[in-house]
């Protein structure tokens, strides 16, 4: 049976995109991936991910990625959807791209929502053809299912490439992009306003909002 695993990378950072990946594999590839040590990308070093991702892409039936950039995540005052719904739309896009000409596919998604049933229903409403799909949305699917682990490696590898491109342009002090990273936090404090419209910062994130508010208050206090 063919299994399509879907996972995200970069859901939480204040800098850089969120990447969704889907990896369609057969039973033989699943066994081979297990022998190779394919597992949740967070449990692997970057070097190991870079090695495994090439094998995964080569052995998979097919794979797809969707990159969601900060301006899409931020939306606008007139049109803004929450991150869970945005992720569901990206997952549906991956499924719709891949679900062409296959008789039966088991789809396993690492669910980002605490309400699995509601999120699954929303996802299904955006899928063009459900007749040949068996859909399972779970927590910790990236740990428990090899197809989702493979997808997580693809997503994480592309997210890292996206961050490398950002660092080439803005310098290594960008850090990992996560608010918990001291380098990233300092970068936002120093350059958050300067680069706010460059498409790399999630301005709907509290990290950026608080930094800008702090600077504005500091300016007022100078008078």
On whether both 113 and 176 belong to a single domain, the answer is: no
Domain of residue 130: give its range: 2-166
Task: Please indicate, yes or no, whether residues 95 and 133 belong to a single structural domain of this protein.
Answer: yes
Proportion of the chain above pLDDT 90, given as a percent: 85
Tell me the average pLDDT of the chain: 93
Q: Which of 20-29, 54-63, 166-175, 207-216 has the lowest mean pLDDT?
A: 207-216
| Calpha distance 207→12 (Å, rounded) | 11
Pairing of the two strands 18-25 and 2-9:
antiparallel
CATH number at residue 204: 1.10.10
pLDDT for the residue numbered 209: 87
Same domain, 18 and 44: yes
111 confidence band (pLDDT: 50, 70, 90):
very high
Whole-prediction pTM: 0.92
Better pLDDT: 81 or 173: 173
CA-based angle 93:206:183, to the nearest 5? 95
Q: Total structural domains in the chain?
A: 2
| Residue 220, domain member (yes or no) | no
* Chain segment 159-188, per-residue pLDDT in tens: 999 999 999 999 999 999 999 999 999 999
- Kindly report the backbone phi and psi dihedral angles of residue 185, in degrees, each rounded to the nearest multiple of 5, phi listed first: -60, -45
């Amino acid at each position: 049976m063919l299994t399509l695993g879907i996972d995200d990378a970069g859901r939480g950072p204040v800098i850089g995109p969120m990447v969704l990946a889907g990896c369609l594999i057969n039973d033989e590839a699943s066994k081979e991936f297990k022998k190779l040590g394919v597992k949740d990308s967070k449990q692997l070093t970057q070097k190991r991910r870079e090695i495994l991702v090439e094998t995964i892409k080569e052995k998979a039936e097919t794979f797809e990625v969707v990159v969601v950039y900060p301006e899409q995540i931020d939306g606008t005052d007139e049109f803004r959807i929450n991150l869970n719904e945005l992720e569901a739309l990206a997952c549906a896009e991956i499924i719709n791209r891949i679900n062409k000409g296959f008789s039966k596919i088991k789809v396993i998604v690492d669910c980002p929502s605490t309400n699995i049933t509601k999120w699954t229903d929303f996802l299904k409403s955006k899928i063009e053809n459900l007749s040949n799909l068996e859909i399972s949305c779970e927590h910790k699917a990236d740990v428990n299912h090899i197809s989702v682990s493979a997808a997580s490696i693809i997503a994480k590898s592309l997210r890292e490439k996206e961050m490398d491109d950002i660092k080439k342009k803005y310098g290594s002090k960008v850090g990992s992009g996560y608010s918990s990273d001291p380098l990233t936090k300092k970068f936002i404090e120093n350059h958050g306003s300067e680069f706010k419209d460059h498409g790399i910062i999630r301005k709907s994130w509290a990290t950026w909002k608080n930094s800008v508010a702090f600077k504005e208050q500091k300016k007022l206090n100078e008078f």
